[in-house]
């Protein structure tokens, strides 16, 4: 049985790209959280513009379809952002917010 390298190269390339894009299933929670971090940053901007908190928490509604834990975390983070925008921005910048989100979504 002869295996052609030319035929397997596209498969190897696709497999490499997929594993690079989605490294491990354990990192799925972090990837989900990373994708939703801009919602928290936007909440800070809304607060500074005088927009009511109900409008800001409405931005998290789409996260409920992804994960109830993610939705709960985002609503809590938005509420915190309205109370403490400076501390929230600092937590986003130093990665603490992402870490907290990842732990909440994973459940451990």
Predicted pLDDT of residue 2: 54
The backbone region for 50, taken as left when phi is positive above 0, alpha when psi lies in -120 to 50, beta otherwise, is left
Domain positions in the chain: 25-106
Question: What pLDDT is recorded for position 18?
Answer: 44
- Give the model's pLDDT for residue 11: 42
Dihedrals phi, psi of 81, to nearest 5 degrees: -60, -35
User: Per-residue pLDDT for 108 more than 80?
Assistant: yes
Helix (H) or strand (E) holding 81: helix 68-83
Does residue 103 surpass a pLDDT of 50? yes
Condensed to tens digits (0 to 9), the pLDDT of residues 15-55 reads 444 445 544 455 899 999 999 999 999 999 999 999 999 99
């Amino acid at each position: 049985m002869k295996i052609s390298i030319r035929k397997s190269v596209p498969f190897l390339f696709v497999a490499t790209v997929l594993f690079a894009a989605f490294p491990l299933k354990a990192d799925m929670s972090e990837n989900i959280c990373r994708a939703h971090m801009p919602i928290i940053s936007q909440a800070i901007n809304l607060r500074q513009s005088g927009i009511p908190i109900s409008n800001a928490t409405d931005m998290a509604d789409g996260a409920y379809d992804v994960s109830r834990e993610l939705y709960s975390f985002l609503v809590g983070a938005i509420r915190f952002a309205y109370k403490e925008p400076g501390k929230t921005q600092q937590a986003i910048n130093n990665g603490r917010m992402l870490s907290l989100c990842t732990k909440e979504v994973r459940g451990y």
